[in-house]
A and B are shown apart, each in its own frame.
Chain A
Amino acid sequence: MPITGPRVIHTGDYEQLRAIINWDRARQELGYVEGEPLNIGYICVDRNVELGRGDRLALVHEGHGGEIRQFTYRDLMLLTNGWAHFLRGLGVRPLDRVCLFLDRHPELYIGFMGVVKTGAIAEPLYSAFGEDALYARTSDSGAMAIITGRHHLGKVRRIREKLPALQFVVVVDHEEEGRPLREGEVAYRMMDHRRETFPIAKTYAESPSVLHYTSGTTGAPKGAMHVHSSIFAQYLTTKVVLDLQEDDIYWCTADPGWVTGTSYGIIGPWSVGVTQVVLNAGFASDRWYETIEKHRVTVWYTAPTAIRMLMKDGLDPVRRHDLSSLRHMCSVGEPLNPEAVRWGREAFGLDFHDTFWQTETGAIMVTNLPGMPVKPGSMGRPFPALDAAIVDEKTGVPITEPGKIGLIAIRPPWPSMMRTYWNNSATYYKKFLNGWYICGDRASLDNEGYFWFSGRDDDVINTAGHLVGPFEIESALLEHPAVAESAAVGKPDPVNMEVVKAFVALRPGFTPGQDLELDIMNFVRRKLSPLAMPQEIEFVDKVPKTRSGKILRRVLKAKERGEAIGDVSTMDDN
């Protein structure tokens, strides 16, 4: 039985791919009929069972202690139906926001599909978020339910009273003999609830499906709203870029609290009906190689930071394992440096294929494609079903001159494009210029049409492939009793690309020192997340600002990078 639709043969001819790869192909292969209902939960779960894949493993889950749980597509169908019945029984209705605030347990992956089957909007959130970060996102979305585990219940409880829309907190691992749940908290043991059927909500192509929060330079995090038709882009890119085939065992190392972990850690692989592996354990080189070896992983989608951490541990751990099952490797989150590509070749005999996209685009936009030469350090070329360009930052006119830097732009529409920012359509409309969607990254083209990343066009910090907003960090810093002024910037880092560095001016009566530095670091970590924690704090007399009071982060960034500071005529020097 062929995988959904015929296999795409990669001949290395980009123009040929452009002729045969288009969104209509995805619609057709997924059996979509224009105007008819469309639901991601149906496509990824029930449809696979209907196509005869019920006995195929959908999820192989390994916990940190090595325990393995396996789920077939039929298990997925019964369990997602169980989730959907349960949520509907709680009063969840289409368009309600249901937040999944869970570690990488099967309940997260399967619960996600249960949520979208009800027609509600799934809002996956990174479980290491502290209570302030959780509050900012769930208060903006107006989440009516949060699905979580005991590990994170304390954070939810501390903000609960400030969330008037929140009606239920679902706890997936409550034990009868454990401490009692409180009012409004409901225990749900997924494995006890298998249901043969569920009337999947009649959602349509443009019905909202997923809300993913992302950070910007200013203001609170923004919720990029996606719709059910995003699956056409996630399906086609999974098939063409990740090259998933009939018998592949696929491992995406991203957490579904971030968009890669949802688009390519849940929706993509299940839309093509393959087996995916999830490892719910912290990073360790040997453990990662063991995972590939033990589960015979064939396609691996990971991140530059992880690759650089593997590089640090050298080739010996690679040689200790049989990694011969691997046949294709991709990377996402930040630019993949040439050394990492070359190391990948030496270690695995394969190229890491860098891919570029973002929360707002919902799927891969610019990419190195299987079968085409990988130029180490390049982002690759536009996904063949869409038009991407480098445009002039003022006019939005495409730049064709090789080497000239401009902004990465995508021609809308495409299926997985965000439809708006939740509660913030004004910012959404600012993302367009001259008919192009502007990603916020700078790059240039070479004479063969490959994109080369140059840098962000804003102050957002990309740490280990995750975007962290400086405003959110600065706001958290200001809540510390010792902090009078603060600025946060990305400091170049050989492993994480950037780490957060904070500049802090203290209130009278406080003295800079190691104790205070550690206290401030932990303060931000608890409030926001470990990613947002400044890894370095520089105590300053004052933070550079314009005369109108705006923080001049570019001055601090330039200093950190050893670059020229540029025009400081607007700086307040009083």
Chain B
Amino acid sequence: MKDVILEYIKNEYLDEEEAEDMRLDENTPLISSGIVDSFSMVSLKRFLEKKYNISLPDEEATPQAFDTVNDIIALVNKHRKGA
């Protein structure tokens, strides 16, 4: 899951040249660093829901819950287990 999400973020939210310059890993801040803003979070949430066949409640899709890939994995797993 980690690689899939990292790849998606790299492809969708980083410019090609930026992606080459930046080391992105599961602990890189996404929201607080501005890589993903609150509007773009909507498409990231939509991707996760589609990819993992889950529904993420809006109240749980907070900037904190999306701040690193590790945070995102924890959120996705919580809802996969509950499914």
Contacts and interface: CB of A to CB of B under 8 A. Distances in A.
Interface of A: 64-65, 103, 128, 150-155, 157, 178-179, 280-284, 287, 309, 312-313, 463-464, 514-515, 517-518, 521-522, 525-526, 530-531, 533, 535
A521 B43 CA distance: 7
B21 A178 contact: yes
Contact of B15 (A155, A517, A518): A155
A283 B39 contact: no
Contacts of A464: 39
8 contacts: A179-B20, A179-B21, A284-B64, A287-B32, A518-B46, A521-B43, A530-B40, A533-B40
Contacts of B43: 518, 521-522, 525, 533
Q: Among A151, A463, A535, find the residue whose CB has the most chain B CB atoms closer than 10 A.
A: A151
B16 interface: yes
Interface string B11-55: 010011110110000000101111011111011001100100000
Contact of B31 (A154, A284, A514): A284
B41 to A, nearest CB: 9
Contacts of A517: 46
Nearest to B36: A282
Q: What are the 7 A-B residue pairs with the smallest beta carbon separation, nearest first? A: A530-B39, A154-B17, A154-B15, A282-B31, A530-B40, A64-B33, A282-B32
B4 to A, nearest CB: 14
B21 A150 contact: yes
A123 to B, nearest CB: 21
A200 to B, nearest CB: 33
B46 A282 contact: no
B46 A281 contact: no
A34 B16 CA distance: 52
A64 B50 contact: no
B58 to A, nearest CB: 9
Nearest to A463: B39
A535 B42 contact: yes
B20 A281 contact: no
Nearest to A513: B50
Nearest to B30: A282
Contacts of A280: 34
A572 to B, nearest CB: 33
A64 B32 contact: yes
Looking at chain A's contact residues, the main secondary structure is helix
A281 B33 CA distance: 6
B18 A64 contact: no
Contacts of B46: 514, 517-518, 521
Contacts of B12: 522, 526
A103 B15 CA distance: 15
Given A154-B16, A178-B21, A282 B39 contact: no
Nearest to B20: A179
Given A154-B16, A280-B34, A464-B39, 7 more contacts: A128-B37, A150-B17, A151-B18, A152-B15, A179-B21, A281-B32, A518-B47
A313 B62 CA distance: 9
Contact of A284 (B32, B36, B50): B32
A533 B41 CA distance: 11
A463 B40 CA distance: 13
Contacts of B63: 282-284
A155 B17 CA distance: 9
Contact of A283 (B20, B21, B38): B38
Interface in B61-83: 62-64, 67
A305 B14 CA distance: 25
B38 A282 contact: yes
A157 B32 contact: no
Contact of B34 (A103, A150, A178, A312): A103
Contacts of A64: 29, 32-34
Contacts of A284: 31-32, 63-64, 67
A154 B34 CA distance: 17
Contacts of B15: 151-155
A155 B18 CA distance: 10
A103 B47 CA distance: 26
A535 B18 CA distance: 25
A441 to B, nearest CB: 23
Contacts of A531: 39
A77 to B, nearest CB: 29
B33 A518 contact: no
Q: Among A65, A282, A525, find the residue whose CB has the most chain B CB atoms closer than 10 A.
A: A282
A392 to B, nearest CB: 37
Nearest to A494: B58
B50 A533 contact: no
Nearest to A500: B39
A154 B31 CA distance: 21
A257 to B, nearest CB: 12
Contacts of A178: 21
Contacts of A152: 15
B48 to A, nearest CB: 11
B83 to A, nearest CB: 17
Contacts of A514: 46, 50
A514 B55 CA distance: 13
Contact of B17 (A128, A157, A518, A526): A157
